[in-house]
Structure 1
Amino acid sequence: MEHVVILAIVRTIVAYIILMVVTYCIGKQVNAHKNYYNYALSITVGSFIANMGFDTNLKFFPMLAAFLTLVFLYLIMSAYSANSRRLRIWLSGQPTVIIENGKLLDANMKKVRYTLDHLNLQLREQGIFNIEEVDFALLEVSGGLSVIMKPPYQPVLKKDLNLVQPHQKTNLPVEIIMDGKIIEKNLNGPYSKQWLEQQLKSRQLEIHDIHYAVVGTNGSFFTDLYQDHLKSPVDKE
């Protein structure tokens, strides 16, 4: 009995490491479950790893060989589909038009067994409560709903109001401190160690006081302290 338990633990650790390596190698698309093929592959991979870990009645190395064959087939199909639109359509599927020019396409909804309740739910999730405001709606292969509103209900953009500066630039946030530790690799360019010391000095803060510090997209320096000094913080998950 003890031998079986140790064997199961070792197999689980090895299977977990294999899963991490393979997940890193095959990319982010599988993790997103954005099409049929990736969804089916992720379920199959999970089944393989589970059996490799705890089912000691199955031999480990034949299971590993079958698992690696599955991954190899996926990589081959991905390589071919990168140069073949027809194969990509076959593997990934295509979106289904649900609303066109403000009209519900009943036949398309029946084909994909998509009900009005589903439609209204997904519209509400996007903050749309009046279906007459929708011009086009497409049901994506992932199950998400992409919506184009009718012109009167489309949001106003900065360029519509001529609020865009000609040389305005948006940068990615730069994390400077996390969990009370400086992220050294991000201290470059305008954000040097001297700059950080000046920022902290002006706020009368020490590094160990800070839970999180980041330079936002607009260049502002945001800090969150371990001690928030809130009188009655909300305690809800």
Structure 2
Amino acid sequence: MEDILMSLLRTFVSFIILSITTFLIGKQINTHNNHFTFAMSIIIGSFIANMGFDLKLKFLPMFASFAFLVAIHFLLASTALKSRRLRKWISGRPTVIMEKGKLLEANMKKVKYSIDDLNQHLRELGTFNIAEVEFAVLEVSGKLSVLKKTAYQNIAKQDVLSKPFKEMNLPVELLMDGEIIHKNLTSQYTEQWINLELSNRQLQLNQVLYAVVSTNGMLYVDEYKDQLSAPTDRE
């Protein structure tokens, strides 16, 4: 009877600890959107199960190890916010599967991704004809993101009023965390071009959080201070 009561008590306490931990860590731990959060969720689940049900293990040493694991997560997550290189190491990078309607076999082999996998994911996205796809990107979460060819995209009012369609391309990230991503620079998007675009917007490099050339060739710039007096969603 005593063992049953102790197991119930440990289960209850473990549930409270898990609830508080997932609240503090944030929403990303629930999405499994990269290798880091997936591994963390598995390890946290194992710790909580042992803390709750394995009476052979002492609760306090298990809790101390669990708290140390959570502290490591917070340290890495906080550091990754300031380091793009660490973010890439933790989260991984997306893989382009199709470019300009062509399959990239080398990339597919690299990530062990078959044509059957591609067709299944396309069907799940409502695309039954692979010929409609301009770009397909396998995200680090395992989900497939698709950009259809212009002829197969839904028409918006802007499309009707604008000039004839331009050739679509993948977005080109040029700035992140106030620093130029030099490997993405091209003969068209040079460092001088970036500085000129920022100058036209009366911005300095260190004022920009993120800048990317979108699929239609337009430059999107987001500042550190967006000057929104009343954001829609406050965390």
TM-score category by the smaller chain? 0.5 to 0.7
**Aligned residue in 1 for 2:20:** 21
> Counterpart of 2:47 in structure 1: which amino acid?
F
Structure 2: 5+ residue runs without aligned partners?
162-235
Partner SS state of residue 67, structure 1: helix
**Aligned residue in 1 for 2:104:** 105
**Aligned residue in 2 for 1:83:** 82
User: 1:80-159 maps to which residues of 2 (within 5 A)?
Assistant: 80-159=79-158
Deviations 1:126-169 (A, max 9, x none): 1111101101000000010000111111111133346xxxxxxx
How many residues were matched structurally?
A: 161
**Aligned residue in 1 for 2:202:** none
User: 1:1-237 maps to which residues of 2 (within 5 A)?
Assistant: 2-161=1-160
Give the Cα separation in 1 of the matches to 2:67 and 2:30: 18
Give the Cα separation in 1 of the matches to 2:155 and 2:6: 62
Give the Cα separation in 1 of the matches to 2:115 and 2:46: 34
> Counterpart of 2:93 in structure 1: which amino acid?
Q
Give the Cα separation in 1 of the matches to 2:160 and 2:97: 32
**TM-score with structure 1 setting the length:** 0.67
Give the Cα separation in 2 of the matches to 1:133 and 1:33: 29
Deviations 1:188-225 (A, max 9, x none): xxxxxxxxxxxxxxxxxxxxxxxxxxxxxxxxxxxxxx
Displaced runs of 4 or more, over 4 A: none
Give the Cα separation in 2 of the matches to 1:4 and 1:110: 52
**TM-score with structure 2 setting the length:** 0.67
Deviations 1:15-59 (A, max 9, x none): 000000010001001111100000000000000000000000000
CA RMSD of aligned residues (A): 0.8
Partner SS state of residue 51, structure 2: helix
> Counterpart of 1:35 in structure 2: which amino acid?
N
> Counterpart of 2:34 in structure 1: which amino acid?
N
Give the Cα separation in 1 of the matches to 2:77 and 2:24: 12
